Amino acid sequence: DSGVTQTPKHLITATGQRVTLRCSPRSGDLSVYWYQQSLDQGLQFLIQYYNGEERAKGNILERFSAQQFPDLHSELNLSSLELGDSALYFCASSGGTRAYNEQFFGPGTRLTVL
Amino acid sequence: AQKVTQAQTEISVVEKEDVTLDCVYETRDTTYYLFWYKQPPSGELVFLIRRNSFDEQNEISGRYSWNFQKSTSSFNFTITASQVVDSAVYFCALRLFGNEKLTFGTGTRLTIIP
């Protein structure tokens, strides 16, 4: 158990809908990262927050947004969902912004868009 | 831009055999960090090891060992006396100094046959 929690574990929804994925980092970790794992794109970095502020952005679509709250939990919002958004979404956390800090991953949220 | 290549898509070995998973990376940066993660059938990503670019010392942890060679830009992972529980997808990843994201390879699916 990495100490990172994600809810829900599974999510099934329809095209055009909007969903929110939630992540709680390990106790004391200030950085939260979101990754998407899909069959065609592999594991891709989406976005990172550090202590409530956006720190780095990757291949995140404009339909997707995220935020980190004062209690350090984070939410990833996916809107106008398309079939291609079906994927496993991981949240990871680390203790800071030092490049060598290991990122510990949550169990993931499997999103299925029908 | 950085890149991680795991040329072996799938490997199957009989239990107790040794197996090496290859990882080749590309970056122009001189300071970077390499990681291996394990993704068992349950889906979570488990951190295995971090290696800094300025530390080429090989590492052994039980049945696991890692061979880092800057001259060939490789960071290979060997499992000795493999066990069925080692069956998983293994990902190699690269993180540059000053950059927050992990760049993952496409993964190697390892199947240990009893």
pLDDT tens digits, A30-74:
999 999 999 888 999 999 999 999 999 998 999 999 999 999 999
Best of A1, A26, A36, A103 to mutate (most B CBs within 10 Å, chain B):
A103
d(CA B8, CA B27): 20
pLDDT in tens, B27-54: 999 999 999 999 999 899 999 999 999 8
Chain A residue whose CA is closest to B43:
A107
Taking CB atoms and an 8 Å limit, are B101 and A107 in contact across chains? no
CA dihedral A40, A43, A49, A50 (to 10 degrees): -170
Buried b (16+ CB within 10 A) or exposed e, B93-108: bbbbeebbbbbbbbbb
- What pLDDT shows up at residue B59? 85
B107 min Cα distance to partner chain A (Å): 8
A78 min Cα distance to partner chain B (Å): 20
